[in-house]
Amino acid sequence: MSTIFSKIIAGEIPADIVYRDDLVTAFRDINPQAPTHILIVPNKEIATVNDLAEEDEQVAGRLLLVAKKLAAQEGIAEDGYRLMINCNQHGGQEVFHVHLHLLGGRPLGPMLMRR
């Protein structure tokens, strides 16, 4: 199974890559929901958070540390930002390759729509 994110990581699909190391790659979302919207993904294809294994502990932590670094680089760390991971259908996951959304650059409002 090869996702669009795996193809971006492999260089098969162009993307605005803002960070890359041996564990993760980060790139700007093509349909941004905030002025800053960066996706941070493991280079290893892991379908959902439910599929993370003990051996993925380092990459899971790296996602957060890279988000912190990019928030500072983007100038949104001081005002604040949101980190979001969707898991499966009810969680709103569209691409089945774990990814962390870094969103910021404006007030983001409540976490969920109120009913």
Q: Please identify which of the residues 37, 90, 97, 99 carries the catalytic annotation.
A: 99
99 is catalytic: yes
DSSP 50-77: GG--GGGHHHHHHHHHHHHHHHHHHT-T
**What is the CA angle 78-81-82, rounded to 5?**
155
Active-site residues, by number, are 99
